[in-house]
Structure 1
Amino acid sequence: MRLLALSAVLLTSGPVVAEQAPVRFSIADAWAMPLVQIEDHQPTSGLIFDIMQSMAAHANLSAEYRVVPIQRVQRTLERGAIDVRCYAAQSWMPSLSGDYTWSLPLLIQRDLLISTPDNATPRMPDTLKDETIGTVLGYAYPTLQTAFDNHTLRRDDARSEVQVLQKLQIHRYRYAVGNQWSLDWFNRNLPDDQKLRGVAVIDEQPVGCIVRNDTDIPAQRLMRILLRMRMSGEIDRIMSRYSTSSGLPVDGPAAP
């Protein structure tokens, strides 16, 4: 009798569908607001976090976040420990090995040479000599690399962009490099006469997401979701939560 009952249950219950694994995103520990807020080694808010959260929700997938040092993000991606890296540019990973799909550009990152209010005269980096420049540990600065290599300029590395700006604020050096979003966030509650100033644009990079091509990852579906998020204005609405903008044209994505 028990055998017959068990057989009836198996016949009427239908096939068992395995739950799809969560999509694993990388978070660089050097990021700061408005990109991401990290608490207890997990992201809690920020424009990149919101983009990744929405991306996973549109795909009906749960999201898992791996916070790793910026120097190890590429290696973590290559060994398959993460599936998606957002806030990435191809020029940042020239030696990337493996099979990946790149999204269309989602944002334009503008890197600035930044100084203090008392030293805010516009100044191009190639006119600087024998200066220490505030930088983030593990970040590449292609436009300044030659000067770093020949010791015309020196790096002073900190763990995050906010630490770089804090050190500039207390005059540990006269110049630093940071992106426009981080500078605006840092300045948001400061009196005007204390705000740090961008004195030159040193680089502009289109950034997007990269997904490992793996049979367990719906890479093409994720790419289509990012395209819809960009075209529908969702990316811009996310950016507006943090009083900033993507830097891309409002009528569509920039060309890769």
Structure 2
Amino acid sequence: MRRVLAMLLLWATHSLAGAAELRFSIAESWSMPLVRIEREQPVEGIIYDIIQAIARETGITPRYHVMARLRVQEAMQSGDIDVRCYVATQWLTDRPGEYVWSIPLIEQRDLLVGRPGDTTPSTPEALPAQAIGTVLGYTYPTLEPLFASGRLQREDSRSQLLVLRKLQAQRYRHAVSNQLSLQWFNRQLPPEQRLPVLAVLQEQALGCMVRSDPALPTQAVLRALVRIKQSGEIERIIRRYTDGPAAPSR
């Protein structure tokens, strides 16, 4: 009898531990300040810190699934991840019905960026025909008509960091970058070498999607994100990686 009770206790403990784990997707194409990955696991960055805040507020244990960005939606459809953060409704071709949206957490701005010293404001329509730095798998709605007409050509890189490094090396004259990545990149450079913003292309509200499953603490995660946002913690996390002295090179 004691053995049976011990086995039941062990099973119950295991079940509770399993229920306290959530699988978070991490896109391979992300770079700092969003995330830094070592040995296939995130170790710092804005998204990493937000997930750590969720874990602290809810008591769950995060499990990170690092994958190609184009694989994330497939993983959602097959139920292989529980939470996807840093996502906008416009990015999804099919919206899985079993996921619930959080409140908007981060305002992302896509920027047209030039070479150092090029401070003349411009619009994409005013650019001469050329290749422009972009991230593989990312969509840029304001530029799609120019890509379709052949006026501009995509030159894809695997991450936003590589896009900016190629622009710095003068591989092309212009690139697209989100504001957070550009701030991170520029803070490590002297003023005369920083990449200038020529235009704001698009602004999008980003949040998280949480799988709606009776076995998961879906509502607890959503409530935690409300508290984290309202407390100002997300803004403090962003400032940690975009303001102040330059971060050490890695």
Q: So what's the TM-score if we normalise by structure 1?
A: 0.88
Shift of 1:189: 1.9
The question of whether the paired residues in 2 share the 8 Å contact of 1:164 and 1:176 is answered with yes
Shift of 1:14: 11
- AA of the residue aligned to 1:134: G
The question of whether the paired residues in 2 share the 8 Å contact of 1:23 and 1:56 is answered with no
The aligned residue for residue 254 of structure 1 is: none
1:157 aligns with 2:156: yes
SS at match of 1:222: helix
Shift of 1:16: 3.6
Within 5 Å, which residues of 2 pair with 1:121-136?
A: 121-136=120-135
The question of whether the paired residues in 2 share the 8 Å contact of 1:78 and 1:98 is answered with no
Partners of 1:9 and 1:73 in 2: CA distance: 41
The aligned residue for residue 16 of structure 2 is: 19
Within 5 Å, which residues of 2 pair with 1:36-47?
A: 36-47=35-46
Q: Deviation string for 1:194-230 (max 9, x for gaps)?
A: 1111110001101010111122221111111100111
Within 5 Å, which residues of 2 pair with 1:83-94?
A: 83-94=82-93
The aligned residue for residue 145 of structure 1 is: 144
Partners of 1:189 and 1:197 in 2: CA distance: 14
The 1:227–1:122 alpha-carbon spacing in structure 2 relative to 1, beyond 3 Å, is same
Partners of 1:14 and 1:163 in 2: CA distance: 49
Shift of 1:57: 2.2
Q: So what's the TM-score if we normalise by structure 2?
A: 0.90
- Structure 2: which 5+ runs fail to align? 244-250
Partners of 1:8 and 1:155 in 2: CA distance: 64
The aligned residue for residue 104 of structure 1 is: 103
The 1:7–1:145 alpha-carbon spacing in structure 2 relative to 1, beyond 3 Å, is closer
Partners of 1:104 and 1:55 in 2: CA distance: 14
Judge which range, 80-89 or 235-244, deviates more: 235-244
Shift of 1:96: 2.1
Question: What do you get for the CA RMSD once the two structures are aligned?
Answer: 1.9
The question of whether the paired residues in 1 share the 8 Å contact of 2:108 and 2:179 is answered with yes
The aligned residue for residue 247 of structure 2 is: none
Q: Deviation string for 1:36-87 (max 9, x for gaps)?
A: 1111111000011100111022111100001111111111111111110000
Within 5 Å, which residues of 2 pair with 1:42-57?
A: 42-57=41-56
Partners of 2:42 and 2:164 in 1: CA distance: 21
The aligned residue for residue 216 of structure 1 is: 215
The question of whether the paired residues in 1 share the 8 Å contact of 2:113 and 2:198 is answered with yes
Shift of 1:243: 3.2
- AA of the residue aligned to 2:56: A
Is the radius of gyration larger for structure 1 or structure 2? 1
- Structure 1: which 5+ runs fail to align? 245-256
How many residue pairs are counted as aligned between the two chains?
A: 238
The question of whether the paired residues in 1 share the 8 Å contact of 2:117 and 2:196 is answered with no
Partners of 1:211 and 1:93 in 2: CA distance: 15
The 1:76–1:192 alpha-carbon spacing in structure 2 relative to 1, beyond 3 Å, is same
Within 5 Å, which residues of 2 pair with 1:129-208?
A: 129-208=128-207
Partners of 2:4 and 2:126 in 1: CA distance: 82
